[in-house]
Amino acid sequence: MAREVIMPKLGLTMEEGVINKWFVREGERVEKGDPLFEVATDKVNMEVESPASGVVLKILYPEGATVPITEVVAYIGEEGEEVPVPGKKAPGEQPEAGERVAGEQVMTQKTETGTETAKERIKASPLARKLAQEYGIDLATITGTGPGGRIVKEDVERAKRALEEAKKQEIPVVEEAPVTEEVKGKVVPLSRMRQIIAQRMVESARTKPHFFVFQEILAEELVKMRERLLPLVEKETGLRVSYTDILVKVVAKALERYPLLYASFTEEGIVFHEHVNIGVAVALEDGLIVPVVKEVERKSIAQITRELHDLVERAKAGKLTPEEISGGTFTISNLGMFGVDAFTAIINPPESAILACGAIKKKPVFDGKDIVPLAVMELVLSCDHRIVDGAVAAQFMQFLKTLLEEPFALLL
């Protein structure tokens, strides 16, 4: 009997998903665990694997279709096996996109010239797939050197080494799709990610009464702390500790003293969360995503470095799970690596605050005797005034300033 492939529920709040792309075509054989299609939810893109081995008998929804959870999207079985047909249309009536009907269903995409194109499935050995998933590398970015262009273990290892070289760069580069002549003067439809970002940010700005607290800190000790931590963390993890890694730990220490800053507002009252779960905003090509480091108060800077590096790499590869981008209680957005002095950020619902971090720059500072060049950093805290008052926000920023300017205070 043909096996149903359904739209999975990938998160507690997920009600529907968009089929971004199919990795297979009707008539192709797949093995259990092979990727079938990619789903875009309101939080993340994920690949859905085949629940069984067999032939793809029928694909019911085209790319771009929005499908409710648990809805059947395809059938897998033995070649020639019949698939269920719920009913037929009246003579001359055209089937809706993605409807399960008798007859052929167009699953190819058409270009402006009418030429049909199909998405080829990525050829890779099982070991290569396993390693790529482990390393957080998108197979689509790898050129296969095996028979017939098949991606093998050596190709994945080579891609991993290339990523390790790239990560040593201090300034990240966010690639943006070029504005071509074909789109100038035209309306370009929003991506699913951009739609969700727009919806959530408008909702946050409309429902949360934001206020902002600006704080300048002397970052001399923070710079020295990172320099001392670099060889220690690299020896333990093989990774270079970043300022963001350190900020995650230091901010968590400050939040423990001021729990209102990582609480949430509800109509029933204020929810005080058990753990400090810090989200870190990561820029992607078509938007941004906020992976979450859970229970930061229990983790060392080395653990945070390792976990955050893994989350960021898989965020860029589109490999995060819904659990890894949910449950945040506070967010850090750092644009310092782009040379930004200061900025204000919109709170990420349902959180009550977000910290925006600017660049560390040398500036002339009066030290009580002379004007000397010192490293300075601008921090801006955005707060939900329904929960947090100005005095509490100011005290939090004062304590955070103390921790960053006197790192030994972390031991208190």
Q: How far is it, in rounded angstroms, from Cα 293 to Cα 158?
A: 28
CATH code of residue 26: 2.40.50.100
Q: How far is it, in rounded angstroms, from Cα 47 to Cα 36?
A: 7
Q: What angle do CA 106, 111, 115 make, to 5 degrees?
A: 70
376-400 average pLDDT score: 95
pLDDT tier for residue 109 given thresholds of 50, 70 and 90: very low
Q: What is the per-residue pLDDT across 81-94, written as a single tens digit (0 to 9) for each?
A: 888 765 433 334 44
97-125 average pLDDT score: 43
Q: Tell the residue number behind the tokens 């979450």, with chain if given.
A: 292
Q: Cα dist. 406→305, 371, 400, 402, 410 in Å?
A: 21, 21, 10, 6, 8
Q: How far is it, in rounded angstroms, from Cα 61 to Cα 15?
A: 17
Q: What is the per-residue pLDDT across 17-64, written as a single tens digit (0 to 9) for each?
A: 889 889 999 889 999 888 899 887 766 778 888 999 999 999 999 988
Residue 1's SS3 state is coil
Q: How far is it, in rounded angstroms, from Cα 261 to Cα 331?
A: 10
Q: What angle do CA 52, 11, 33 make, to 5 degrees?
A: 20
Do 161 and 220 have their domain in common? no
Do 46 and 162 have their domain in common? no
The pLDDT value given to residue 125: 79
The pLDDT value given to residue 111: 37
Radius of gyration of the chain (CA): 25
Do 153 and 272 have their domain in common? no
The percent of residues in the chain predicted with pLDDT above 90, rounded, is: 43
For 287, left (φ over 0), alpha (ψ -120 to 50), or beta? left
Taking the C-alpha atoms of 81, 87, 92 and 95 in order, what is their torsion angle to the nearest 10 degrees? -80
The pLDDT value given to residue 92: 40
The pLDDT value given to residue 219: 92
Q: How many other CB atoms are there within 10 angstroms of residue 67's CB atom?
A: 18
Q: Cα dist. 5→131, 155, 254, 312, 392 in Å?
A: 26, 31, 47, 30, 52
Q: What is the per-residue pLDDT across 206-228, written as a single tens digit (0 to 9) for each?
A: 889 999 999 999 999 999 999 99
Q: Domains in the chain: how many in total? A: 3
Check whether the bond before 349 is cis (ω within 30° of 0): no
Nearest Cα to Cα of residue 25 among 108, 104, 81 = 108
Do 266 and 350 have their domain in common? yes
First to last CA, the chain: 65
Which one is predicted more confidently, 359 or 285? 359
Copy the structure tokens of residue 256. Answer: 């423990």
Domain of 355?
193-316+323-411
Give the range among 119-123, 157-161, 395-399, 405-409 with minimum mean pLDDT: 119-123
DSSP 48-80: EE-SS-EEEEEE-S-TT-EEETT-EEEEEESTT
Residue 108 lies in a domain: no
Q: Tell the residue number behind the tokens 């919806």, with chain if given.
A: 199
Residue 103 lies in a domain: no
Ranges of beta strands (E only) in 41-174 are 45-49, 54-59, 66-68, 72-77, 109-110, 116-117
The pLDDT value given to residue 87: 43
The pLDDT value given to residue 162: 67
Do 302 and 345 have their domain in common? yes
Residue 114 lies in a domain: no
Q: What is the mean pLDDT of the chain?
A: 82
Q: What is the per-residue pLDDT across 242-282, written as a single tens digit (0 to 9) for each?
A: 999 999 999 999 999 999 999 999 989 999 999 999 999 99
Q: Tell the residue number behind the tokens 């089929």, with chain if given.
A: 19
Do 41 and 136 have their domain in common? no
Nearest Cα to Cα of residue 248 among 335, 346, 355, 408 = 355
Residue 106 lies in a domain: no
Nearest Cα to Cα of residue 210 among 218, 223, 201 = 201
Q: How far is it, in rounded angstroms, from Cα 406 to Cα 412?
A: 11
Residue 405 has pLDDT above 50, yes or no: yes
373-386 average pLDDT score: 94
Do 128 and 31 have their domain in common? no
Do 162 and 214 have their domain in common? no
The pLDDT value given to residue 89: 39
The pLDDT value given to residue 181: 65
Q: What is the per-residue pLDDT across 164-201, written as a single tens digit (0 to 9) for each?
A: 654 544 444 444 555 566 667 778 777 766 777 787 78
Positions marked active-site: 385, 389
Residue 237 has pLDDT above 90, yes or no: yes
The pLDDT value given to residue 199: 79
pLDDT tier for residue 106 given thresholds of 50, 70 and 90: very low
Q: What is the per-residue pLDDT across 302-329, written as a single tens digit (0 to 9) for each?
A: 999 999 999 999 888 878 888 888 899 9
228-243 average pLDDT score: 93
What residues have CB less than 8 Å from 181, skipping those under 6 apart?
A: none
